[in-house]
Amino acid sequence: MENEDQSTGKLVLSHRQKLLLPVVMIGAFFEGFDFMVINLALPYITNEFNMTEQMAGYTLSVIAVGALVAFFVVRMADRIGRRPIFIWSVVIYSIFSLLTALSISLSMFIVFQFIARVFLIVCWAVGFIIVVEEFEAKYRGRAIALFQGAAAIGAIFPSLFLPLVAMIPSLHWRGLYIIGAVPLILLIFFSKNLPETKNFEEMKAGKGENTPPLLAVFAAPYRKNIIAIMALWFFMYLSYASAMNFFALRVESELGWTENQVGLITALAFTLGLAGYVAVGKLLDKIGRKKTAFIFFGLGSVALMVVFQAQGFWQVALAQIIAVFFIGTFTVLCAAFTNELFPTELRGNATAWGNNIIGRLGQIAAPALVGFLSAPLLLNGIGNAVTLMAGGVLVCILIIALFLPEPLDYEVPAYPPVIDEKPVDL
């Protein structure tokens, strides 16, 4: 396993980790890339397909339903392995990213993006599991922050590429989805560097082909944690998706920003926001998962509300830079709790239930709710609607404080669970 350089305090990767980490980071990079593409391209897609703001919100919600379908694929990682599920997910979402660029109608766009979203989410979720299983607990905070940092870097590039593809009228936003197919090429060269995780191999060697049933994660030793985890992901995504999906649309439609201004501030925010992943990784390992979550969720919520209430260009720009520093790490925090509170046999199951089913309901509901609440007779604008949704992050703090243990001090119950010295029949 890895060791820490005592003279510098830096994480030193083993040879195995040096090979596998870049591969899973490719998946994370393009998950961030694709997520930002649809947010930046939304104003132009809205215009091309003659959608209202409300229709745009409902379109995003329909596409986000793909995360629910991802549940069934992520669970397969507990049966056939982390590696094959991860690799095939990259292949499929790359193909459908390319098909998205060829859409000639709104219905085609929705179908292609729906399928791409399914496998983007699978790739991201299984990538997190791989990282958790390949790093020791005392270094895991920095490892998962590094993984999610790749997604943040991926989110920078659409802002940089948008002005370039816009110079080719026949491509414009479609050019970004063509770029989104690049991981298929990269995978050809690097997939051989990704082994199956040792945890999964050991689990299979000891228990054969028996796969935990669908509801195994709700057995008595795990029930409280999985319910809290599901709620944590739900309220996080309610805020996160609202903020990420509607920043560009809000500043362009309500504040009159230009395409270049949106691209510049988005690229700057996500570039500087990379420091947030460094900070959260170090704090997760130094002061613990819960204290770090309180800091980042609390300050992130405040920053989000300022972004969607401020009016002046520089006020909004500065608030967005600060907000991205914090909110980019929200998924890191949720994933740390999810993967560290359950045994190897149930990690895919816990991720599928927590992130892909209940959690993603928040992501699905967020755009539709913002579109509904932004109506003139209700909150009268996207800014006010997203500000209200940002309160979901404060609920996350309560969930962690009241219902979740500190993972570093928690002894994970074995699977199958044993109660009163008798195995539980699942």
Domain ranges in the chain are: 13-423
Q: Are 242 and 386 in contact (CB under 8 A)?
A: yes
pTM of the model: 0.74
Pick the CATH number of 13-423 from 1.20.1250.20, 1.10.3300.10, 3.10.180.10, 3.20.20.70: 1.20.1250.20
- Please, is 345 exposed, middle or buried when counting C-beta atoms within 10 Å of its C-beta (0-12, 13-18, 19+)? buried
252's tokens = 């362009």
Host H or E run for residue 37: helix 15-48
- Please, is 200 exposed, middle or buried when counting C-beta atoms within 10 Å of its C-beta (0-12, 13-18, 19+)? buried
Q: What is the pLDDT of residue 318?
A: 95
Task: Using alpha carbons, select from 347, 235, 335, 328 the residue that is nearest to residue 278.
Answer: 328
Q: What is the pLDDT of residue 260?
A: 80
Q: What is the pLDDT of residue 1?
A: 47
Q: What is the pLDDT of residue 5?
A: 52
Q: What is the pLDDT of residue 295?
A: 97
Q: What is the pLDDT of residue 382?
A: 85
Q: What is the pLDDT of residue 206?
A: 66
Report CA dihedral (349, 351, 353, 358) to the nearest 10 degrees: 180
Q: What is the pLDDT of residue 304?
A: 93
Residue pLDDT tens, the chain, 426 long: 444 554 455 667 778 888 888 888 888 888 788 877 887 777 788 888 888 767 877 787 788 777 778 878 887 887 888 888 988 888 888 889 889 988 888 889 999 999 998 898 888 888 888 888 888 877 777 887 888 788 878 877 887 787 777 777 777 788 888 888 777 777 777 778 888 888 888 877 765 555 677 788 898 889 999 999 999 999 999 999 888 888 888 898 889 888 788 878 888 888 888 899 889 988 998 899 999 999 999 999 999 999 999 999 999 999 999 999 998 889 889 988 998 899 878 887 888 788 878 888 888 788 888 888 888 888 888 889 999 999 899 999 999 999 999 998 888 888 777 655 555 555
